[in-house]
Amino acid sequence: MLSMENFGDKLEQLGFNFYSGVPCSFLKPMINYSINKGQFVMAANEGDAVAIAAGATLGGAKSIFLCQNSGLTNAVSPLTSLNYTFEIPVLGFVSLRGEAGVADEPQHELMGTITDKLLTIMNVQNAILSTDETEALLQLEEANKIIENGQSFFFIVKKDTFSSVKLLQQEQGNGSKPNIKRSNRSCQSVKRIEALEALQQNIDARTVLLATTGVTGRELFELGHKENQLYMVGSMGCISSLGLGLALMKPNLNVIAIDGDGSLLMRMGSLATNAYYKPKNLYHLLLDNGLHESTGGQKTVSTNIDFLQIASGANYDVVEEINTLVDLEQSLTNWSTDSKLTFAYMKTEKGIKENLGRPTVTPKEVKESFMKFVEGYTN
């Protein structure tokens, strides 16, 4: 059995200072250890946790992702289309529930036999974490070399690998709900690209723009590539989680996460996580055109959803309706002068820019220039 204190100290010596994940009984000592250190973000699901860790990595952290193997499949999308595509490494610890010969629940049986195979198929190097402390610490050093080479590495953790860690008293969240700020202007016909252009024109030098996958990122790039912009590809629904990790790591940087209705609906639990951790430097803008426009204009179910009420219920500090470009400009001004975690909702018209191209820079190149920009803003 490994001493979690010694193992955690080694992780810290290697520079790992940010954890995100979901509960797992096998990983409870590591989760408790990182919570006690104030380094853990509890995500709503495994995919969100991967994106949160990726965002922290963009901010200069060396990040750790924790999950039970039964939930590893929920992390496949960001692991394969965010971390792999942008070459954003994460050190993962995934429990081995359903190990052959070990009594466990029936839902873990299949994953117990395919966990290592699933990781290997995703091009994630992996190994069983040794229960011998000397060997385990050497394994960590080897894994760190792989991480520093820009690739992810996962340890598969068997039952009773770590010594127990007592969880200290945790802070309680603020349960008060914000009033929704309604626009006093009639809803204006605004296209997504017009809103994106307004964002570019109304942010200061310490603000970054993170655009969700599909047309949103492509249109933002079309308006002019800048080092403070990142265009997510794949990992649908993960944009605000990416923004959360970055905002927590870089409190002196302003982070705008540009979401879409189809995207947010896919991972709406992220609203609760964002609102619990409350980084005041995160501005979450939802552009809702009621369509999956990137794939042919199929309707989403957003017409049945009151996103403002949901964000208010999640307890964002500021929840506001944006009806016009003037509203958007004023909202950004308010946020930059009196920063609070903000959810802004804007209804947009359907329509894609004619002859819309795709980014001519690779995801890796975008990441590298973005991280260079972000690096200048100290924690």
CATH of residue 231's domain is: 3.40.50.970
276: Cβ contacts below 8 Å, ≥ 6 apart:
42, 173, 315
144 forms bridges with which residues in the sheet? none
| Residue 328, pLDDT score | 97
How many structural domains comprise the chain? 2
Q: Which of 350, 332, 347, 303 is nearest to 187 (CA)?
A: 347
Distance from C-alpha of 27 to C-alpha of 162, rounded to nearest angstrom: 8
Looking at residue 83, what DSSP letter applies?
A: I
pLDDT digits (tens, 9 = 90+) for 80-118: 999 999 999 999 999 999 888 888 888 888 888 999 999
Q: Residue 345: pLDDT band by 50, 70, 90 thresholds?
A: very high
Q: Which of 208, 175, 132, 152 is nearest to 16 (CA)?
A: 152
What does R_g of the chain's alpha carbons equal in angstroms?
21
Q: Which of 104, 125, 157 is the last residue of a domain?
A: 157
Distance from C-alpha of 2 to C-alpha of 322, rounded to nearest angstrom: 53
| Residue 297, pLDDT score | 87
- What number is the average pLDDT over the span 229-256? 97
Same domain? For 138 and 196 the reply is: no
Same domain? For 108 and 30 the reply is: yes
| Residue 175, pLDDT score | 67
Surface-to-core class of residue 87, CB atoms within 10 Å of its CB (0-12 exposed, 13-18 middle, 19+ buried): middle
Same domain? For 198 and 112 the reply is: no
Indicate whether 165 belongs to any domain.
no
CA angle 44, 45, 46 (to 5 degrees): 140
Indicate whether 220 belongs to any domain.
yes
Indicate whether 67 belongs to any domain.
yes
**Residue 95: strand, helix, or coil:** strand
Same domain? For 325 and 246 the reply is: yes
Question: Angle, to 10 degrees, between the axis of helix 4-13 and the axis of helix 133-148?
Answer: 30
Surface-to-core class of residue 216, CB atoms within 10 Å of its CB (0-12 exposed, 13-18 middle, 19+ buried): buried
Mean pLDDT of the chain: 95
Q: Which of 123, 157, 191 is the last residue of a domain?
A: 157
Same domain? For 76 and 190 the reply is: no
Indicate whether 204 belongs to any domain.
yes
Indicate whether 136 belongs to any domain.
yes
| Residue 379, pLDDT score | 67
For tokens 């993962």, what's the residue?
Answer: 92
Same domain? For 128 and 203 the reply is: no
How far is CA 52 from each of CA 40, 58, 129, 241, 322, rounded to the nearest angstrom?
11, 10, 24, 5, 27
Same domain? For 36 and 151 the reply is: yes
Distance from C-alpha of 244 to C-alpha of 41, rounded to nearest angstrom: 10
Dig out the tokens for 92 from the structure: 């993962």
Domain membership of residue 189 as a residue range:
180-375
Q: Which of 7, 16, 14, 18 is nearest to 141 (CA)?
A: 14
DSSP state letters, 9-55: HHHHHTTEEEEEE---STTHHHHHHHHHTT-EEE-SSHHHHHHHHHH
Indicate whether 166 belongs to any domain.
no
How far is CA 35 from each of CA 71, 81, 161, 166, 250, rounded to the nearest angstrom?
20, 28, 19, 10, 19
| Residue 106, pLDDT score | 86
pTM of the full predicted structure? 0.96
- What number is the average pLDDT over the span 201-214? 96
Indicate whether 168 belongs to any domain.
no
Indicate whether 173 belongs to any domain.
no
Same domain? For 196 and 53 the reply is: no
| Residue 107, pLDDT score | 86
Same domain? For 142 and 260 the reply is: no
